[in-house]
Amino acid sequence: MTAGRIIFLNGTSSSGKSSIARELLNVLDDGVFFHLAVDSFNAMRTKRDLGPAELDAALRRTRMGFHRSIAAMAEVGNDVIVDHVLSEPWRLLDCLSVLRPEDVLFVGVHCPLEELTHRERARGDRPPGLAAHQYSLVHGHGDYDLEVDSSTASPRECAEKIKDFLPHRPDPTAFARLRDRYLSGGDEPGIPDPGRSTTQA
Q: Which residues are catalytic?
A: 39
Count CB atoms within 10 A of the CB of residue 170. Answer: 12
Q: 3-state DSSP helix/strand/coil percent for the chain, to nearest 5?
A: 50, 15, 40
Nearest alpha-carbon partner for 79 in 16, 180, 7: 7
Cβ–Cβ under 8 Å, residues 182 and 188:
yes
From residue 119, alpha-carbon distances to 39, 52, 111 in Å are: 17, 28, 10
From residue 161, alpha-carbon distances to 24, 31, 142 in Å are: 10, 17, 20
